[in-house]
C-alpha cells in the first residue's frame, strides 16, 4: 500500500515537472491540395516555412503576413529549393494573431494560409510561480507519504 502511494506520488510529481512544456507553433494546410505552411515563434522572431505543392526547384514562393487588426500586410518572397522548401524570417511588431498566406504565382496550386499568435511584446509583471508550484506539490506528496508510513508503524507498535 505504502509503496503504491509513494510510486503514484513520484509519477505525479514527474508528470507535473516534465509535462508542462508546450511548444509554440502552428501549421496549416488550407485549402486541401495547397502548399503546407509552418510557423515557429521564438520571442519576437518568427520563421515561416512552406513546402510547395509541385515540389520543384526555382519556384518563387510569396508569403503575405497580415498583422492583428488588419494592418498593412508584409510581403516576403523566397525561391524554393530542390525539395520545394522555402523559408522566410519575420519580426513581430504587435501582439495578437497574425495570418500568413502562402502562394505560388507561377504554379497552378491553391494558396494556403495559417495563423500564429504572439504575446512576446507584453510587459512582464510579477513572477513565474510554476517552479514553486511543482516543488510545493512534490513536498506535500512526500510529507503525505511519511505521514502514512508513521501511522502504519504506530498501529503495528500498538498491536
Phi, psi of 6 (to 5 degrees): -65, -40
CA distance 128 to 131: 7
Name residues whose C-beta falls within 8 Å of residue 15's C-beta, 6 or more positions apart in sequence.
none
Give kind and range of the element (H or E) at residue 145: helix 130-158
And the C-alpha cell for 123? 510587459
Which listed CATH number (2.60.40.730, 2.30.110.10, 3.40.630.30, 1.20.1260.10) goes with 31-118? 2.60.40.730
Name the average pLDDT for the chain. 75
Banded model confidence at residue 138, pLDDT cuts 50, 70, 90: very high
The share of the chain scoring above pLDDT 70, in percent, equals 63
CA distance 113 to 32: 11
The share of the chain scoring above pLDDT 90, in percent, equals 10
And the C-alpha cell for 133? 508550484
Is 74 a residue whose pLDDT tops 60? yes
Cβ-contact 50, 63 below 8 angstroms:
yes
Number of other CB atoms surrounding residue 141 within 10 Å: 18
Question: What would the pLDDT profile of 17-27 be if each residue is shown by its tens digit?
Answer: 555 444 444 44
Is 28 a residue whose pLDDT tops 60? no
Give me the pLDDT at residue 12, please. 59
> What residue ranges do the domains of the chain occupy?
2-19+127-158, 31-118
Amino acid at each position: 500500500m505504502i509503496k503504491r502511494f509513494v510510486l503514484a506520488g513520484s509519477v505525479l510529481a514527474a508528470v507535473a515537472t516534465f509535462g508542462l512544456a508546450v511548444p509554440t507553433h502552428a501549421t496549416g494546410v488550407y485549402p486541401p491540395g495547397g502548399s503546407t505552411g509552418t510557423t515557429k515563434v521564438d520571442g519576437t522572431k518568427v520563421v515561416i516555412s512552406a513546402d510547395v505543392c509541385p515540389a520543384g526547384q526555382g519556384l518563387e514562393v510569396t508569403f503575405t503576413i497580415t498583422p492583428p487588426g488588419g494592418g498593412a500586410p508584409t510581403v516576403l518572397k523566397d525561391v524554393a529549393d530542390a525539395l520545394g522548401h522555402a523559408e522566410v524570417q519575420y519580426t513581430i511588431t504587435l501582439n495578437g494573431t497574425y495570418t500568413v498566406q502562402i502562394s505560388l504565382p507561377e504554379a497552378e496550386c491553391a494558396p494556403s494560409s495559417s495563423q500564429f499568435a504572439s504575446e512576446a511584446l507584453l510587459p512582464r509583471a510579477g513572477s513565474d510561480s510554476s517552479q514553486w508550484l511543482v516543488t510545493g506539490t512534490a513536498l506535500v506528496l512526500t510529507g503525505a507519504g511519511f505521514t502514512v508510513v508513521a501511522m502504519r508503524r504506530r498501529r503495528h507498535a500498538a498491536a
